[in-house]
Amino acid sequence: MAGSWKKFATAFVSGFAFAMPVSVTFLDYVGYVARVDGASMQPVLNPRKEPGHDVIFLNRWSVRNFEINRGDIVSLDSPRDPGTRLVKRVIALEGDTVKTLHYKNKFVTIPQGHCWVEGDHHGQSMDSNLFGPVAVGLIHAKASHIIWPYHRWQKLMSVIPSKRSPISITEKQIIDELVDDMGGQFHDS
What is the C-alpha separation between 66 and 56, in angstroms, rounded?
20
Q: Which residues are annotated as catalytic?
A: 40, 88
The answer to whether the peptide bond before residue 149 is cis (omega within 30 degrees of 0) is: yes
Q: Which residues pair with 107 in a beta bridge?
A: 99
101 and 123 Cβ atoms separated by less than 8 Å = no
Burial of 162 (C-beta count, 10 Å sphere; 0-12/13-18/19+)? exposed
98 and 167 Cβ atoms separated by less than 8 Å = yes
What is the C-alpha separation between 111 and 121, in angstroms, rounded?
25
